[in-house]
């Protein structure tokens, strides 16, 4: 760098800034330094610079879910969240290190400047695991209870559950079923809102616990209701895939949707919107959520005060 500075007639710090595309160096000088660097085969040693600054300019993004053929990484969750995260971080000059929970506690993750965790895990086990890494961390999920000081970005899951209950009540449904796994904080909040709103009208929903949020799991859930001859006229599924599976099983069993049974999912996925019949659901704004996750982790990295934030959820009434 000293040789290059002498050739260009500038200081070493100007060379460093020019090679880093800094706007502190005027365009003519920046191009002259970069041309000399290309001519002499000089490249900025990013690793050495990061070591000196004690920054990697990398944020690790951990997807808590375990990908499977029934629930893939290219579904809107987590892909839409990742789009918002990547756009915001790269605009700020940061790289994104993407991995899943199965390969997360490794040297590359621990060398990152901050961490974004997509999903809290069963009873927040994923949150507790990554607390041990000791990095500034922001989590996608449900708001914590008293004493939980984690920074969380998510949707108002409780209000989402309330809005589904209000819809069922308004169309005269009195025998609802909830399909999902309330061990996950987001699902628990959806269930709490659903149960509390129904309780005000003297109705108690049936909880059908399912650990997999897949189409096949939704099919299995409805078949089990039929085999046990359970009376029900409405289903609130905690994901669109579960809801679509439930509808498939209902049709196979000879039921009409929504005449016999009303079904509402959660997430407002493109697949649900194009499903036949088009799926009623609760919308989450994942892209905005991704942007917020990135902004908050960058603020933490730079020592700025940050607060958790819940976004509004919206009931989307279609044909089910």
First to last CA, the chain: 66
At residue 225, does pLDDT exceed 90? yes
What pLDDT score was predicted for residue 2? 86
Query: With the CA atoms of 307, 139, 47 and 37 taken in that order, what torsion angle do they form, in degrees rounded to the nearest 10?
Result: -70
What pLDDT score was predicted for residue 280? 98
The helix or strand, by DSSP H or E, that contains position 86, with its residue range, turns out to be helix 76-91
Mean pLDDT computed over 271-280: 96
What pLDDT score was predicted for residue 161? 98
- Looking at domain 58-155+286-310, its CATH superfamily turns out to be Response regulator (3.40.50.2300)
Mean pLDDT computed over 184-209: 97
Residue 234 bridge partners (DSSP): 176, 262
What pLDDT score was predicted for residue 20? 74
Q: Are domains 58-155+286-310 and 157-283 of this chain identical in fold?
A: yes
At residue 49, does pLDDT exceed 70? no
- DSSP codes joined into one string, 217-267: HHHHHHHHHHHTT---SEEEESSHHHHHHHHHHHHHTT--TTTT-EEE-SB
At residue 319, does pLDDT exceed 60? yes
What pLDDT score was predicted for residue 71? 67
Mean pLDDT computed over 94-100: 91
At residue 180, does pLDDT exceed 80? yes
Confidence of residue 130 (pLDDT cuts 50, 70, 90): confident
Question: pTM of the prediction?
Answer: 0.80
Structure confidence by residue, pLDDT tens digits, 226-243? 999 999 999 999 999 999
Distance CA 114, CA 58 (A): 7
Distance CA 36, CA 311 (A): 50
Confidence of residue 267 (pLDDT cuts 50, 70, 90): very high
Burial class for 16, CB neighbours closer than 10 Å (0-12, 13-18, 19+): middle
At residue 259, does pLDDT exceed 90? yes
At residue 141, does pLDDT exceed 70? yes
Q: Which residue pairs, CB below 8 angstroms and at least 24 apart, start in 105-113?
A: 105/129, 105/130, 105/132, 105/133, 108/60, 109/60, 109/62, 109/133, 110/135, 111/56, 111/58, 112/56, 112/58, 112/59, 112/60, 113/55, 113/56, 113/57, 113/58, 113/59, 113/301
Burial class for 29, CB neighbours closer than 10 Å (0-12, 13-18, 19+): middle
Confidence of residue 132 (pLDDT cuts 50, 70, 90): confident
What pLDDT score was predicted for residue 16? 82
Domain spans, the chain = 2-44, 58-155+286-310, 157-283
Higher pLDDT, 6 or 293: 293
Mean pLDDT computed over 121-132: 85
What CATH number is given for 157-283 in this structure? 3.40.50.2300
CB 251 within 8 A of CB 257: yes
CB 144 within 8 A of CB 151: no
At residue 45, does pLDDT exceed 70? no
Higher pLDDT, 248 or 51: 248
At residue 12, does pLDDT exceed 90? no
The Cβ of residue 124 has, within 10 Å, a number of other Cβ atoms equal to 19
At residue 52, does pLDDT exceed 80? no
Q: Which fold has domain 2-44?
A: 434 Repressor (Amino-terminal Domain) (1.10.260)
At residue 47, does pLDDT exceed 90? no
């Amino acid at each position: 760098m000293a040789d290059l500075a002498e050739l260009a007639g500038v200081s070493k710090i100007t060379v460093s800034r020019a090679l880093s595309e800094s706007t502190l160096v005027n365009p003519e000088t920046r191009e002259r330094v970069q041309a000399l660097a290309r001519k002499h085969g000089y490249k900025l040693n990013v690793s050495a610079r990061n070591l000196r600054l004690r920054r990697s300019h990398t944020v690790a993004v951990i997807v808590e879910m375990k990908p499977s053929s029934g629930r893939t990484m290219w579904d809107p969750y987590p892909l839409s969240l990742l789009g918002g995260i990547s756009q915001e971080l790269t605009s700020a000059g940061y790289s994104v290190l993407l991995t899943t929970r199965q390969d997360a506690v490794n040297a590359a993750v621990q060398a990152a400047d901050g961490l974004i965790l997509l999903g809290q895990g069963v009873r927040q086990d994923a949150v507790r695991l990554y607390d041990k890494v000791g990095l500034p961390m922001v989590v996608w999920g449900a708001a914590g209870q008293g004493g939980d000081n984690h920074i969380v970005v998510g949707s108002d899951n409780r209000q989402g559950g309330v809005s589904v209950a209000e819809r069922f009540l308004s169309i005269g449904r009195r025998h609802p079923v909830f399909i999902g796994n309330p061990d996950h904080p987001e699902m628990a909040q959806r269930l709490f809102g659903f149960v509390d709103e129904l309780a005000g009208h003297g109705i108690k929903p049936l909880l059908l616990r399912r650990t997999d949020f897949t189409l096949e799991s939704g099919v299995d859930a409805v078949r089990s209701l039929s085999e046990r001859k359970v009376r029900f006229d409405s289903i609130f599924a905690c994901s669109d895939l579960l809801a679509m599976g439930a509808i498939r099983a209902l049709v196979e069993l000879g039921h009409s949707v929504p005449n016999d049974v009303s079904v509402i999912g959660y997430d407002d996925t493109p697949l649900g919107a194009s499903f036949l019949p088009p799926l009623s659901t609760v919308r989450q704004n994942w892209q905005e959520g991704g942007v917020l996750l990135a902004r908050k982790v960058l603020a933490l990295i730079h020592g700025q005060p940050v607060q958790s934030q819940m976004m509004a959820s919206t009931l989307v009434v279609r044909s089910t």
